[in-house]
């Protein structure tokens, strides 16, 4: 949401987060939030949308929508352009007694995606731009190996990685 002339509308959360109705049997794309966008930023952001969708789909936890995105979108896209998706994650090896993998993500890129989405949601709610910095605070994504539910453990903001990257651990696969 720059000061350029609005030429298109941008979905937030991104349209690619939601399976198509024909795939899942119901329309999860109906009534999504859209905000004004210039063509340059809307098309440029699509690669970041794909990155963020991949991170979310690979995170622990299951849902019907997530399964459809994983098997119907992510796996076929990886087969077509594996070099692009390899750049999204750095494999750090097996965890949880071989039931999952630790994946390092680009924390700065992730935070930019969340920042962009937060600003769009604010604009939709208040019809004006948020002009102040936004701090993205998340846990490390570590899974408590003692938990049978796969619930994520929480870390204090001061314990966040300072390297600009974070590591997700867990099975991630539906």
This prediction has a pTM of 0.74
Per DSSP, helices labelled H in the chain are: 21-24, 39-58, 64-69, 75-80, 82-86, 107-126
Contact 101, 93 (CB under 8 A): yes
Provide the pLDDT for residue 61: 79
Strand partners, 169: 102
Provide the pLDDT for residue 128: 94
Q: How many CB atoms lie within 10 A of CB 61?
A: 15
Provide the pLDDT for residue 127: 94
Average pLDDT by consecutive 10-residue portion of the chain (174 residues)?
80 88 85 88 85 88 85 90 88 87 90 93 95 82 42 35 45 45
Contact 28, 16 (CB under 8 A): no
Provide the pLDDT for residue 33: 93
Provide the pLDDT for residue 52: 94
Provide the pLDDT for residue 139: 64
Provide the pLDDT for residue 118: 94
């Amino acid at each position: 949401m720059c000061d350029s002339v609005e030429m298109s509308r941008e979905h937030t959360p991104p349209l690619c987060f939601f399976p198509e109705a024909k795939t899942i049997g119901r329309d999860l794309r109906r009534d999504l939030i859209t905000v004004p966008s210039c063509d340059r930023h809307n098309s440029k952001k699509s690669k970041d949308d794909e990155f963020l969708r991949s991170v979310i789909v690979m995170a622990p936890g299951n849902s019907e929508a997530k399964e459809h995105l994983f098997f119907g979108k992510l796996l076929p896209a990886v087969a077509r352009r594996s070099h692009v998706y390899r750049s999204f994650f750095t494999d750090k090896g097996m965890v949880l007694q071989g039931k999952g993998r630790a994946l390092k993500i680009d924390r700065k890129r992730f935070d930019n995606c969340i920042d962009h989405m937060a600003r769009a949601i604010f604009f939709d709610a208040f019809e004006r731009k948020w002009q102040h910095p936004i701090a993205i605070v998340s846990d490390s994504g570590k899974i408590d190996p003692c938990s049978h539910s796969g619930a994520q453990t929480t870390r204090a903001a001061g314990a966040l990685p300072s390297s600009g990257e974070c590591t997700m651990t867990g099975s991630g696969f539906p």
